Structure 1
Amino acid sequence: MMELSQATRNGIDMPLVGFGTYQLSIDQAEFCVKEALKAGFRHIDSAEGYNNEEGTGKGIKAAGVSRDEIFVTTKLFPGYKQWGAPEKTYEQTIETLKNQLKQLQLDYVDLYLIHAPLSELRLEQWNALVALKKSGLTRHIGVSNYNEETIKEILDAGLAQPEANQVEFHPMCAQIDLTRYMQKHAIAPIAYSSLAPLSTWRMEAGQGGEVLAEKKAESQLVIKEVASKLKVSEAKLLLRWGLQHGYCVLTRSTKPERIRENLQVFDFKIPDHDMECLNRLNQNQAFAWAANGLNPMEVAPPIK
């Protein structure tokens, strides 16, 4: 378990708390990203697949924060045959980031990720990310939703190691072996859907939070009890749990007061006993992609 000192960034200079833009409209992304940066966030997490990078770019510009103070992550949607989405070639991967940079109104991003190992061409796509880093269009490169096996594919091919891996991570989906593997190989772990165990997570119409909701009831009682004992919100408790496991955590809200509150996770510590109570909730249960009918860490097709 990681001890958090005053450090607020990880090994690739990424702020440990980031603001995510998933399921925001273009207009919401513009407003919320601006609010997040005004509140003190310095890490914005975006993706081609969120279809809102134009708004994210406008929000970054409107906030008036110096570019070199902001860490911007975005992701390549690799394509997925089962959804009828063409798989991107090397050249298309290069062009995709160039187009994303236009939408974001940026000269470079700080971290570019392959969103999931959904394509047979993922080694070709990884080669393109290596080239994009060399060209300066991204400072760091990594993956998302990759397990040990799909990370090893990259290493076995003799290619540059991913610098980060963004995965679903919370007490009910603790990724124990993968976390250990990433620590061993100095791959920065990034958590998304940290708040998935909560009954309030993704509960607006069409967001899919109701899928598998029945699996959470028991865990919610424990989370509520620990949060109450420590006098913090359940959201702050879950974010802090991720931080104490060495992860960068991402938050998302459309409410300015909640945006500000989610950044305040460095002013308390979860005691070891309570960390263990939360650790015991692990079921290796993923929720984030359940509404799509798949777990992206388990569907990698054979590589070409």
Structure 2
Amino acid sequence: MPLVGFGTFQLSIDQAEYGVKEALKTGFRHIDSAEAYNNEEGTGKGIKAAGVSRDDIFVTTKLFPGSKQFGIPEKNFKQTIETLKNQLKQLQLDYVDLYLIHAPLSELRLEQWEAFVELKKLGFTKHIGVSNYNRERIKEILDADLAKPEANQVEFHPICAQVDLTRYLKENSIAPIAYSSLAPLSTWRVEEGQGGDVLAEIKEECQLVTNEIATKLKVSEARLLLRWGLQHGYGVLTKSSKPERIRENLNLFDFEIPEKDMERLNQLDQNQAIAWAANSVNPMEAPPLK
């Protein structure tokens, strides 16, 4: 899996098509999508338009599992299988490289995971994993003697450093992937309705420290936060519709954050998730298994 990926959350179908095409032309080789983003048709068109060999691209997508809390029907084994088949049609692909359960929101999550194991056997996905799973939710899978998740995609940035979970993932050889790496910035999700203003008051110290270190290292604050994730062993995801920003966010390997500055960023941890806060949801909270 390429360590730097291009994400498509909150992009329209047309924006996803343009952004994915530009990202692949720029040099990105990991594209991150999801059923819940409602833009996989555009993502598929962007992949096709870029003209890059399928063998050179790593495509991640996610199953929305359903949720009684949201009033969305929960997917059973058969429906989980059919969901990925339908996603592949939209993406215009024969397989994805990584398929994730978007969050442990369903009482049927073990049944869904059994379907994931089957989807891998059938060749519709090369790897299977989860997203927004904490230690307890991963342990449910292991206690059921099912195949271990190969990856876990979680919110990860200096304000939400997931210290214990990160250690657990490394101990169990589960690849950690970060989303919302830029959540501490004042420029994150600034358009109306995107939710970037929620919990803005807890970001102030992080913004000051991030700006100071980025200025000293002569890099953008976005690149600094993405690099912080990489130096913690995470794959990271970036998103932009601007070609110059797409290029900039891919270029994370020509500098390193010194140990003292890494520690300053580490000390900003408040164990506070931000990404789903606008919806008053903690995606790691899960209902009892059915």
- TM-score relative to the length of structure 1: 0.95
Provide the rounded CA distance (Å) in 2 between the counterparts of 1:139 and 1:52: 22
Provide the rounded CA distance (Å) in 1 between the counterparts of 2:12 and 2:253: 30
Residue in structure 1 matched with residue 80 of structure 2 by the alignment: 93
Equivalent residue of 1:19, what SS? strand
Residue in structure 2 matched with residue 168 of structure 1 by the alignment: 155
Give matches, 1:113-128, under 5 Å.
Answer: 113-128=100-115
Q: Pick one of 123, 134, 143 that aligns with 1:136.
A: 123
Give matches, 1:206-217, under 5 Å.
Answer: 206-217=193-204
Residue in structure 2 matched with residue 104 of structure 1 by the alignment: 91
Residue in structure 2 matched with residue 10 of structure 1 by the alignment: none
Provide the rounded CA distance (Å) in 2 between the counterparts of 1:184 and 1:55: 37
Equivalent residue of 1:262, what SS? helix
Q: Pick one of 242, 252, 277 that aligns with 1:290.
A: 277
Letter in 2 for 1:37: L
Residue in structure 2 matched with residue 23 of structure 1 by the alignment: 10
Provide the rounded CA distance (Å) in 2 between the counterparts of 1:188 and 1:264: 21
Provide the rounded CA distance (Å) in 2 between the counterparts of 1:96 and 1:103: 11
Q: Deviations over 1:196-231 (max 9, x none)?
A: 000000001111101111110111100100101111
CA displacement at 1:110 relative to structure 2: 0.0
Equivalent residue of 1:81, what SS? coil
Residue in structure 2 matched with residue 302 of structure 1 by the alignment: 288
Aligned length: 290
Residue in structure 2 matched with residue 189 of structure 1 by the alignment: 176
Give matches, 1:221-240, under 5 Å.
Answer: 221-240=208-227
CA displacement at 1:73 relative to structure 2: 0.1
CA displacement at 1:106 relative to structure 2: 0.0
Letter in 1 for 2:38: N
Q: Deviations over 1:5-64 (max 9, x none)?
A: xxxxxxxxx000000000000000000000000000000000000000000000000000
Equivalent residue of 1:257, what SS? helix
Letter in 2 for 1:226: I
Give matches, 1:45-56, under 5 Å.
Answer: 45-56=32-43
Provide the rounded CA distance (Å) in 2 between the counterparts of 1:271 and 1:214: 27
CA displacement at 1:292 relative to structure 2: 1.1
Provide the rounded CA distance (Å) in 2 between the counterparts of 1:37 and 1:16: 14
Equivalent residue of 2:148, what SS? coil
Letter in 1 for 2:218: K
Letter in 1 for 2:9: Y
- TM-score relative to the length of structure 2: 1.00
5+ residue gaps, structure 1, are 1-13
Provide the rounded CA distance (Å) in 2 between the counterparts of 1:87 and 1:56: 25
Provide the rounded CA distance (Å) in 2 between the counterparts of 1:56 and 1:219: 33
Q: Pick one of 233, 239, 243 that aligns with 1:246.
A: 233
Provide the rounded CA distance (Å) in 2 between the counterparts of 1:234 and 1:215: 17
Residue in structure 2 matched with residue 8 of structure 1 by the alignment: none
Aligned alpha-carbon RMSD (Å): 0.4
Q: Pick one of 206, 228, 245 that aligns with 1:219.
A: 206
Q: Pick one of 169, 179, 183 that aligns with 2:166.
A: 179
Aligned structure 1 segments of 4 or more residues deviating by more than 4 angstroms: none
5+ residue gaps, structure 2, are none
Provide the rounded CA distance (Å) in 1 between the counterparts of 2:42 and 2:192: 22
